[in-house]
Structures are given as structure tokens and as C-alpha cells.
């Protein structure tokens, strides 16, 4: 079996565009084209079919199942996620909340196409790593937005879904995966003190378990489970806010307990890093960590 193809027998997409032609026709006719799918021509925004990306459609009873022409194969999904994170997230003239909403919806549809086709292998790893980074980054970038504009719980939910699927694909695709330590560590931190995450640690190879990054995150999770108050205090020192149910961690810029001068210095460094011109390079892992 080609590891970049499907895990089993299922539908195979044949659409070679970021958006199926039938959807382009429908959304154009119904005037449902997003402004990020348009190009300024003669002073007016005009639909640009080359910029249109398949939108998420919730499954419903009685709804027609997507056919091969509606589904994008792995190589097209990779190209689509690269477009979203390489071109859309880098726009300077659009509010980042609007960018988030668009990329969230379109990347969710990418994952939907993956599930329907049961896509695995290196293509799945490539896609899921990038989408997970997007959600993690968005959690910081939008952490001060009001709940009506950005719901961190929903963002965290989709981050978890990406991480769990990604870790599964790592486990079944042979070979060493360059970014596995990064995402195994993120999974431990996203699930501080949770039994499932801690048990997952012991399913890893010895080389992964003993790596400095993963072992540090594992110890942090164990300390959290054994001495919650101490770990909460340590998290607060780093601007990490533990949810009331103690099931998740969120970065809140205002929760630093350092002196104001030191606090401001840390935030300026972080903000400069993640709002730099090469944000798309960070999300697409084109820069060293």
C-alpha cells in the first residue's frame, strides 16, 4: 500500500481544484462567495475561482453523500492547506479574526475530506501538523477576543481532534517523523494530568520517551497530577491560565505575575515572533523552531 494514500477501501477523490466546480457554480449563483475568495478588479471585488476553497458542510439526514468529483485527493488537500496558511494567514489588510474564521472553516472541510477518504500516511501527517499549528497559534493570537468573537473551547476541541488523529497516524506510518517530538509534547501539555495522555507516553518508543522535550512535558504533567497547586502557580508565572475544571490550559497575556517591566518584555518578544512577516513560514514549518 502506498503510505500516502488511503488506509483502506473507501471513496477516492478526483477533484483537482481547491473547490469543486459544482460548488463554485452554486456559491457564485447564490452569492455565497467569501470576500477572501475575491480579487479587486476595476475598484470592485470580483469572484476569483482560483481563490475559492471548498467550505465545510455539516452532514445531515437525507443529504446526498459526496461523490468522487466532490472530494479532493491527498495532493490537492496538501496544496490547499499550504495556500490557506501560506497566503491567507499572511494578509495584512484583513482582521485576523476574519482570517481565523475563514481558515477554520476551510481547514475543517479539509479534515472532512480526509475522513471520508480515510486518508493516512505522510500526506495526513503533513496536513494535520499544519492545521494543529494553526489552531495553537490562533489560541494565542485571539486569546483576548470576547467570547462572542472567539470561543477558545471550540478552538481547543479542534486542536485536540487534530492532535489525537495526528498521533495515531504517527503510530501506524513507518519511519521517523521530524516533528513528532513537538506534537507529542504539545499533546501532553494540552492534557495535563490526564490518565489517557500519561498512558500514551508509555506507548512511545524509548527514544521518544527519553527525549528532553517529551520527558520535560511528561514530568510537568505528572507534577500537575500530584501537586496541582504548585503546577498552577508555575503555569501562572508563564502566563498560562488553568481552566476552572482544571482540564485545559490557555495562554492569557494578562495573567502574567511577573513585574510589569519584565511582563511587557516577555510579551513584546512573543508578539514580535508570532506577528512577524514570515508567519506563514512558521505555520508551514519552513523556519527552524
Whole-angstrom distance, CA of residue 220 vs CA of residue 198? 11
- Identify the CA nearest to 158 among candidates 174, 135, 137, 141: 135
Phi-psi domain of 149 (left: phi exceeds 0; alpha: psi -120 through 50; beta: other): alpha
Do 152 and 104 form a contact (C-beta atoms < 8 A)? Answer: no
3-state class of 226 per DSSP?
helix
Global model pTM greater than 0.75: yes
Whole-angstrom distance, CA of residue 80 vs CA of residue 280? 14
Q: Within 10 Å of residue 139's Cβ, how many Cβ atoms?
A: 17
For residue 272, the Cα-to-chain-centroid distance in whole angstroms is 21
- In order along its 289 residues, the chain shows pLDDT tens digits of 344 555 556 789 999 999 999 999 999 999 999 999 999 998 899 999 999 999 999 887 667 889 999 999 999 999 999 999 999 998 989 999 999 999 999 999 999 999 999 999 999 999 999 999 999 999 988 988 999 999 999 999 999 999 999 999 999 999 999 999 999 999 999 998 899 999 999 999 999 999 999 999 999 999 888 876 666 676 666 666 666 666 666 655 555 455 544 445 545 555 565 555 567 777 777 655 4
**What count of Cα atoms within 13 Å lies in the side-chain half-sphere of residue 288?**
0
Amino acid at each position: 500500500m502506498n503510505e500516502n494514500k488511503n488506509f483502506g477501501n473507501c471513496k477516492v477523490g478526483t477533484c483537482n481544484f481547491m473547490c469543486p466546480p459544482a460548488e463554485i457554480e452554486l456559491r457564485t449563483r447564490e452569492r455565497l462567495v467569501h470576500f477572501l475568495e475575491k480579487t479587486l478588479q476595476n475598484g470592485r471585488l470580483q469572484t476569483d475561482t482560483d481563490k475559492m476553497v471548498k467550505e465545510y458542510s455539516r452532514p445531515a439526514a437525507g443529504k446526498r453523500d459526496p461523490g468522487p468529483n466532490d472530494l479532493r485527493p491527498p495532493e490537492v488537500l496538501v496544496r490547499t492547506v499550504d495556500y490557506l496558511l501560506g497566503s491567507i494567514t499572511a494578509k495584512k489588510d484583513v482582521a485576523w479574526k476574519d482570517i481565523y474564521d475563514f481558515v477554520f472553516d476551510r481547514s475543517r472541510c479539509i479534515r472532512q475530506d480526509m475522513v471520508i477518504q480515510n486518508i493516512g500516511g505522510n500526506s495526513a501527517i503533513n496536513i494535520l501538523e499544519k492545521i494543529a499549528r494553526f489552531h495553537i497559534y490562533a489560541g494565542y493570537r485571539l486569546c483576548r477576543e470576547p467570547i462572542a468573537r472567539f470561543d477558545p473551547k471550540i478552538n481547543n476541541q479542534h486542536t485536540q481532534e487534530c492532535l489525537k488523529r495526528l498521533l495515531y497516524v504517527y503510530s501506524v506510518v513507518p519511519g521517523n517523523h521530524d516533528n513528532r517530538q513537538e506534537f507529542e509534547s504539545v499533546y501532553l501539555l494540552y492534557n495535563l494530568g490526564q490518565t489517557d495522555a500519561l498512558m500514551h507516553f508509555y506507548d512511545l518508543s524509548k527514544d521518544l520517551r527519553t527525549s528532553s522535550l517529551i520527558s520535560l512535558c511528561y514530568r510537568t504533567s505528572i507534577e500537575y497530577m500530584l501537586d496541582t497547586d504548585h503546577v498552577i502557580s508555575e503555569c501562572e508565572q508563564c502566563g498560562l491560565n488553568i481552566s476552572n475544571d482544571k482540564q485545559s490550559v490557555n495562554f492569557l497575556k494578562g495573567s502574567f505575575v511577573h513585574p510589569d517591566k519584565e511582563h511587557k518584555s516577555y510579551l513584546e518578544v512573543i508578539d514580535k515572533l508570532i506577528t512577524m512577516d514570515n508567519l506563514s513560514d512558521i505555520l508551514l514549518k519552513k523556519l527552524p523552531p
